[in-house]
Amino acid sequence: MKKVFNFYFMIFCLIGFFTVNVESTSAAPSATIKLTTIETEVLKENRQEKIISLSKATPIIVLSETEGWTKIQYKTVIGFIKSEYLKSVSPQYMLVKSQNEPLVRVTNKQHSGSIGKLYLNSIVELYGSNSTDFVFIKYGGLAGYVNKHALIKPTGKKMKVKASKDLVVRSIASSSSDDIGTLRKNSNVTMLTNLKGWAFVTSESLSGYVPMSGLTTPVQKAVPPKPSKPKSAQPVKGKKIALTFDDGPHPKVTRQILQTLDKYNAKATFFVIGQEVVKYPEVLKEVYEAGHEIGNHTYNHEKLTTLSQKEVNHQIQSTDELIKSVIGKNATVFRPPYGSYDETVIKQLKVPSVMWTIDTLDWKHRDPEKTALAIEEQVNNGSIILMHDIHQATADALETILIDLQIQGYTFVTVSELLKK
């Protein structure tokens, strides 16, 4: 009987040890993530026996620090590293975007144990990983590995803390989470997401979640489009705006844009690149014959302020000649690449140089929803909207844009029509 008792007692102890060990090696809540600065060993508590070696720039969870040693967790391993071999780093903020809420795992293996899920549209701190499929992230107290395809770079939006009161910043999107600081009323922030009434914001001093109700959109001062000479947008009668497309023509995207514009009886201005006209003269002819305005956008999109007077002249003149050879008429407007111009450029022009009042940044994010949202948030009477007819996402966004703006009572005219006094 005693032997049986001893046997079960030993089994009980082993089960208890295993349970404690599993819990201690999961990714425990931590406020600190650091990276290794060199290839280094993780040692047992006696600081003598090696557990594993870590390569340089490996993210680890800091559990405690004392007398030059740091107790760390790496995946399922807990051990000690000399503190001098670790450094703090600023994380990269990423937006969770996938079909389902992604699992956070203990290791960078697909079938390793999970320790939690990430909310869709939440912002996480990315610290990287040597794995090709998994990256190391932290969300509040949750730290571990997640499939990198579930994360994308967020698009920031300028916001302002309301004047009524200061805002408490929290580690996750919950009023019961850790308080990590305060944003003063009227301070400026950049919002990276809106998650169920919680906004993740960044400022010069701290980043985290605040109630969306505590933020407001800053009042934008009207800024006249550059260059003010020879031509700038003027107030117009009625609700009119000008859609402009740069960098084409493109054999597929431009044609899809033409079809959509025709469907909604909308006119636009196309600022074309000379070298693209050489490739696709028939597309330029289709744009012109559909009743749209043709503008000169230089021969190969060089930044004109970096060129000599002779080179500037070639960029403009050669493109003018190409346009005329295809449609039989000269370009009626000009737009400098990157909006970069000076007196040398202006002296070369025989037509108005026209900038924009709304930059959709379609070239940057390639996202139809973001393109449409940029216009929705900024449009007003007399707007000149910048897009590019070389990106499929822009063509895909156009129908939504036209429908929304027509509902608001806007009509679509060429830049020259808009700028007529």
β-pair type (293-296, 268-272): parallel
**β-strand pairing of 50-54 with 40-43:** antiparallel
Asked if 264 and 243 count as a contact pair (C-beta separation under 8 A), the reply is: no
**Residues annotated catalytic, as ranges:** 246, 388
Q: How far apart are CA 78 and CA 26, in angstroms?
A: 10
Structure-token pair, residue 39: 């290839």
Rg, Å, the chain Cα set = 29
Residue 297 vs residues 244, 270, 415: alpha-carbon distances, Å: 12, 9, 14
Cβ contact 388:246 at 8 Å: yes
How many other CB atoms are there within 10 angstroms of residue 126's CB atom?
Answer: 19
Amino acid at the residue 130: N
The answer to whether residues 176 and 191 touch, using CB atoms and an 8 Å cutoff, is: no
- The conformation of residue 306, written as its DSSP 8-state character, comes to G
Question: 3-class DSSP state for residue 75?
Answer: coil
Query: For strand 59-66 and strand 69-74, is the pairing parallel, antiparallel, or unpaired?
Result: antiparallel
CA atoms within 13 A on the CB side of 127: 21
Query: What CA–CA distance (Å, rounded) separates 257 from 265?
Result: 12
